[in-house]
Chain A
Amino acid sequence: MHHDQERAAQQPPEHLESVTIRFAGDSGDGMQLVGMELAKASARQGNDLATLPNYPAEIRAPAGSLSGVSGFQLQFGARRVYTPGDKPEVLVVMSPAALKVNLGELRPAGMIIANRDGFSDRALGLAGYSSNPLTDGSLAGYAVHAIDLGTLAETALDGLGLAHKEVARCKNYVALGLLFRMYDRAPEPELASIRARFAKKNPLFGEANARAFRAGFDYAENTETLPRYHVPPASIRPGRYRHVTGNQATALGLTAAAHLAGLRLYLGSYPISPATEILHELALLRQHRVIAFQTEDEIAAVTSCIGASFGGALAATNTSGPGLALMSEGLSLAVMLELPLVVVDVQRGGPSTGLPTKTEQADLLFAVHGRHAESPLPVLAAATPADCFEMTIEASRIALKYMTPVLLLTDGFLALSAEPWRIPEPAELPRLKVSLRTDPKGFAPYLRDPKTLARPWAVPGTPGLEHRIGGLEKDFVTGAISYDPVNHERMVEVRARKIAGIADDIAPLEVQGKPEGELLVLGWGSTYGAICAAVGAARAAGKRVSQAHLRHLNPLPRNTGEVLRRFRRVLVPENNAGQLGRLLREELLVDTVGLDVVQARPLKVGEIAEKIEELLQP
């Protein structure tokens, strides 16, 4: 036995292309924290990666209950990683409830690292287990490593003078230590990072967590009971990278857009999951010409934005479904006024309160159509967490150039999941041209630029440009209130033509793969990663399938119909009941095949791959 162990220690770790790991525990177990730490360490190692937290709506759901289980999944790899992974190969669970909730998703023969201390009779009962799955043989198909994480923490922290409860809280770092050893990561940078994290708040906790981490690492090294793997670095474009979630990228994108336009950023916002983090981020950036104003409700959020926009700021708001519904009235006002405004809808499971922390893409038709009367506005969607940065700037560009509110759709998945993001050089970013009107000669507030059909932006306080705007219909030429029926029709037409004309100013729809053929997989929004992975695998296997992704949904790129018609079939995977399919039929008279998943979770690579397979059957 001893001899075998020595040999194992000498063996180099097995090389892996990629791995998917899920951490799960009670809401207070710190699973998000250690999951994120492993992600950062993987990024330092040069792996590509994607992460996805999964947590209940309640900040502290009842401990030990099935509904209170919180999770964090990450995939890192030596190749391009498009998604946080379908089914994890490794499941780290702190409690029976965490095991019960997540076991169904673990791959066959996958590995379970369980905190044996957490499987008390009481905890087993709370999770509805009549016997202990760690010992009753029910996990026979898996590689189970039952380790006393709590006890390891207690031993390591002995003498530090911490209360029992505080010691127990460190067991997540023991688990992290195990995984560091398992995936061949050096412990030193992490030890330094743990101590730095707690240095200000409480250095004693820093020491405790560092010791707990070390205990986990040493346990794995000394016992050699866990396998060892090495995931080599991926080939990634050189540059400065940071870890970014979709919400962070959105906040940074808005700030960057205001700078690129030479304007202040005003964010009027009301808290709502999963969008609030954008408000949190921007509240920190006062020194970057940002005002983040938390209003009394979403109605005030959007209306104050319209006021700020009238006042000459780049105005933006962020919300999710129910909040967007409250903003609908204000959005129509913004359409009527023709003022620039960026609205970010971080979609979540609905209707109503629905599944507030989970993802869905079911606001698409609401975004395109959900306003009273003839009220068109541009709708965009970000494809990845980092793409939220780019698309926020694109939304701002369109809003400022065409004097219109713009809706940018992201979702709970993009908002919370993270990937490494190469920080762009300022010179790589587009300039956003803004010309505030100052010349009173020939000024009329609704006299349009003949090319863009945008009206002038005249900020109050500009001498000689006093003007009244409001929700009432305006005269086509003078902008004065007009109840003339023919004028109204003319205004409805020109507002629609302005938005439709944006199609000439956006990138055409690009096809990855052959430009025509049997099957095109067309996606929008956060399905991008899963589609890339599924189509990539199918093409590597010699299948004839192409891929395209929509980032502009209203108006659609000019060539969309033409691209779609070149394929015999078009598959549209979506996290809703087929909304893009309906939109395409309505706009282009093109029929598509849907893959509609409305389970408030991101699409899986596997289910898209299966559908591709099915559609390519002769």
Chain B
Amino acid sequence: MSEQREHPVNKFLRMDRMPSIWCPGCGIGTTVNCFTRALTECDKDLDKVAVVSGIGCTGRVAGYLNLDSFHTTHGRALPFATGLKVANPELDVVVYSGDGDLSAIGGNHFIHAARRNSDILCICVNNFTYGMTGGQVTPTTPEPAIASTTPYGAFEPTFNLPHLAASSGATYVARWTTFHVRQLARSMRDALSKKGFRFIEVIAPCPTLYLRRNRLGEALHEMRFYKEKSVIKHGADTREAALDYRGQIVVGTFVDTRRPTWLEAMNKRMSTVLGEKFVPYALPTREPKV
């Protein structure tokens, strides 16, 4: 019985980079686990999957995945991914981002990527804080949570990220917590096989900063909390999916629709105007020599 079997996730990871920088109890690793399961299940050609991330704890995901991956600057994962996808439409481009990276410094890019329906899967690990820089308040930190920059409690209104994504035009919007590992993996798998701007928010614990500073206990307590407070409401109106401090967490698939991606829309417009003269923009190999 001493035979050692390799962990099924390992083949997706750069094992030379282990151990990871993530703290014990951190939720980011859990999401990566789900993501690798989703990759396995949806049978993607891994040569054609590229992962792009920004800066912060979640930004490090790109560094640990054994795929073509890109660790960009703070907030810029989405525009980078946009350019990559346009230059190389055959790739499946996945953006991994944290709440601060995506909705603060990268907020403008977020709404525009959704509006254009860029063909990108965007996974946001929302732990309500900036982890890597020491627990500052983010656009998702609810009142009255303590952060290092809100020592008397956060007081600004927050972004409801699924609603922001949906109202900006995302074609797939879901939210899960790191307690919902099976649902999350399935959601990621489904999203990987769809087209357009797809957004999955994952509520995740940051035991070192957010939980500790707010005296909320260990990561395990947080799992119990997610289990108790989560309500699955598929198709829920995203306006009703806002989060408050320690209140109910509405999870599920909120939006699942189809509209032309940026590339499809461009090709359609050009074909309408230019007719047969126009050769649709597609894979590099099919690009006509002129």
Binding site for B on A (CB under 8 A): 259, 264, 266, 268, 286-289, 291, 293, 295-297, 299-301, 303-313, 315, 329-330, 333, 459-463, 465-472, 480-481
Is the CB–CB distance between A300 and B112 below 8 Å?
yes
Cross-chain contact of A468 among B71, B73, B82, B87 (Cβ < 8 A): B71
Is the CB–CB distance between A300 and B69 below 8 Å?
no
A-B contacts, 13 of them at CB < 8 A, read A287-B290, A289-B290, A291-B281, A296-B109, A303-B73, A311-B83, A311-B91, A460-B91, A461-B91, A467-B68, A470-B62, A470-B70, A471-B72
Residues of chain B in range 64-118 having any CB-CB distance to chain A below 8 Å:
65-73, 76, 78-88, 90-91, 108-109, 112
Cross-chain contact of B83 among A268, A288, A329, A471 (Cβ < 8 A): A268
Given A264-B287, A304-B80, A330:B73 Cβ within 8 A: yes
Cross-chain contact of A461 among B17, B47, B62 (Cβ < 8 A): B47
Is the CB–CB distance between B86 and A304 below 8 Å?
yes
Which B residues lie within 8 Å of A264 (CB)? 87, 284, 287
CA distance A509 to B120 in the complex (A): 48
With both beta carbons as reference points, the residue of chain A lying nearest to B16 in the complex is identified as A480
Is the CB–CB distance between B281 and A307 below 8 Å?
no
Cross-chain contact of A333 among B14, B52, B72 (Cβ < 8 A): B72
Is the CB–CB distance between A266 and B83 below 8 Å?
yes
Given A295-B79, A462-B47, A312:B88 Cβ within 8 A: yes
Which B residues lie within 8 Å of A467 (CB)? 68-69
Interface centre among B14, B71, B279, by most chain A C-beta atoms within 10 angstroms, is: B71
Given A300-B79, A460-B91, A286:B71 Cβ within 8 A: no
Which A residues lie within 8 Å of B85 (CB)? 307, 311
State the Cβ distance, A56 to closest chain B Cβ, in Å: 30
Which B residues lie within 8 Å of A259 (CB)? 290
Cross-chain contact of B277 among A287, A296, A304, A460 (Cβ < 8 A): A287
Does residue B152 face the partner (Cβ distance < 8 Å to A)? no
With both beta carbons as reference points, the residue of chain B lying nearest to A285 in the complex is identified as B290
Is the CB–CB distance between A311 and B88 below 8 Å?
yes
CA distance A313 to B270 in the complex (A): 21
State the Cβ distance, A255 to closest chain B Cβ, in Å: 10
Cross-chain contact of A466 among B47, B52, B72, B88 (Cβ < 8 A): B47
Residues of chain B in range 190-206 having any CB-CB distance to chain A below 8 Å:
none
Which A residues lie within 8 Å of B86 (CB)? 266, 291, 293, 304, 308, 311, 313
Residues of chain B in range 257-287 having any CB-CB distance to chain A below 8 Å:
270, 274, 277-279, 281, 284, 287
Interface centre among B52, B67, B68, by most chain A C-beta atoms within 10 angstroms, is: B68
Does residue B50 face the partner (Cβ distance < 8 Å to A)? yes
Is the CB–CB distance between B79 and A307 below 8 Å?
yes
Does residue B48 face the partner (Cβ distance < 8 Å to A)? yes
Is the CB–CB distance between A470 and B290 below 8 Å?
no
Is the CB–CB distance between B73 and A315 below 8 Å?
no
Cross-chain contact of A266 among B55, B73, B87, B112 (Cβ < 8 A): B87
CA distance A150 to B74 in the complex (A): 59
Which B residues lie within 8 Å of A296 (CB)? 79, 108-109, 112
With both beta carbons as reference points, the residue of chain A lying nearest to B64 in the complex is identified as A468
With both beta carbons as reference points, the residue of chain A lying nearest to B105 in the complex is identified as A299
Q: Report, nearest first, the 7 A-B pairs whose CB atoms are least far apart.
A: A470-B71, A307-B83, A304-B83, A311-B87, A460-B68, A311-B88, A300-B79
Does residue B29 face the partner (Cβ distance < 8 Å to A)? no
State the Cβ distance, A618 to closest chain B Cβ, in Å: 58
CA distance A312 to B84 in the complex (A): 8
Does residue B144 face the partner (Cβ distance < 8 Å to A)? no
Known: A287-B277, A303-B83. 12 other contacts (CB 8 A): A266-B83, A266-B86, A287-B274, A287-B278, A295-B82, A303-B76, A303-B80, A304-B79, A304-B80, A315-B87, A466-B47, A466-B66
Cross-chain contact of B87 among A299, A307, A471 (Cβ < 8 A): A307
Is the CB–CB distance between A312 and B277 below 8 Å?
no
Is the CB–CB distance between B84 and A469 below 8 Å?
no
Which B residues lie within 8 Å of A460 (CB)? 50, 68, 84, 88, 91
CA distance A405 to B290 in the complex (A): 26
Tally of contact residues, B, Cβ under 8 A:
47
Given A296-B109, A466-B68, A308:B83 Cβ within 8 A: yes
State the Cβ distance, A397 to closest chain B Cβ, in Å: 20
Which B residues lie within 8 Å of A305 (CB)? 83
Does residue B25 face the partner (Cβ distance < 8 Å to A)? no
State the Cβ distance, B107 to closest chain A Cβ, in Å: 10
Which B residues lie within 8 Å of A268 (CB)? 79, 83
CA distance A469 to B50 in the complex (A): 11
Is the CB–CB distance between A481 and B281 below 8 Å?
no
Does residue B153 face the partner (Cβ distance < 8 Å to A)? no
Interface centre among A293, A308, A311, A313, by most chain B C-beta atoms within 10 angstroms, is: A311
State the Cβ distance, B39 to closest chain A Cβ, in Å: 13
Which A residues lie within 8 Å of B90 (CB)? 461
Is the CB–CB distance between B76 and A312 below 8 Å?
no
Which A residues lie within 8 Å of B108 (CB)? 296-297, 300
CA distance A303 to B74 in the complex (A): 11
With both beta carbons as reference points, the residue of chain B lying nearest to A481 in the complex is identified as B63
CA distance A264 to B83 in the complex (A): 12
With both beta carbons as reference points, the residue of chain A lying nearest to B279 in the complex is identified as A287
CA distance A313 to B88 in the complex (A): 8
CA distance A469 to B84 in the complex (A): 13
State the Cβ distance, A348 to closest chain B Cβ, in Å: 24
CA distance A527 to B62 in the complex (A): 47
Which A residues lie within 8 Å of B70 (CB)? 307, 310, 468-470
Which B residues lie within 8 Å of A307 (CB)? 52, 70, 79-85, 87
CA distance A308 to B87 in the complex (A): 5
Is the CB–CB distance between B71 and A471 below 8 Å?
yes
CA distance A133 to B174 in the complex (A): 73
State the Cβ distance, B279 to closest chain A Cβ, in Å: 7
Given A264-B287, A300-B79, A308:B72 Cβ within 8 A: no
With both beta carbons as reference points, the residue of chain A lying nearest to B110 in the complex is identified as A296
Is the CB–CB distance between A312 and B112 below 8 Å?
no
Which B residues lie within 8 Å of A470 (CB)? 62-63, 69-72
Which B residues lie within 8 Å of A459 (CB)? 88
Interface centre among B47, B55, B274, by most chain A C-beta atoms within 10 angstroms, is: B47
Is the CB–CB distance between A306 and B88 below 8 Å?
no
Given A264-B87, A460-B88, A470-B71, A312:B79 Cβ within 8 A: no
Which B residues lie within 8 Å of A310 (CB)? 70, 80, 83-84, 87
With both beta carbons as reference points, the residue of chain B lying nearest to A300 in the complex is identified as B79
**Bitwise interface map of B from 204 to 227 toward A, beta carbon under 8 Å scored 1, else 0:** 000000000000000000000000
Is the CB–CB distance between B287 and A468 below 8 Å?
no
CA distance A266 to B281 in the complex (A): 12
Which B residues lie within 8 Å of A468 (CB)? 14, 62-63, 65, 68-71
State the Cβ distance, B88 to closest chain A Cβ, in Å: 4
With both beta carbons as reference points, the residue of chain A lying nearest to B89 in the complex is identified as A311
Is the CB–CB distance between B287 and A300 below 8 Å?
no
**Bitwise interface map of B from 40 to 58 toward A, beta carbon under 8 Å scored 1, else 0:** 0000001110101001000
Is the CB–CB distance between B84 and A308 below 8 Å?
yes
With both beta carbons as reference points, the residue of chain B lying nearest to A337 in the complex is identified as B70
State the Cβ distance, B66 to closest chain A Cβ, in Å: 6
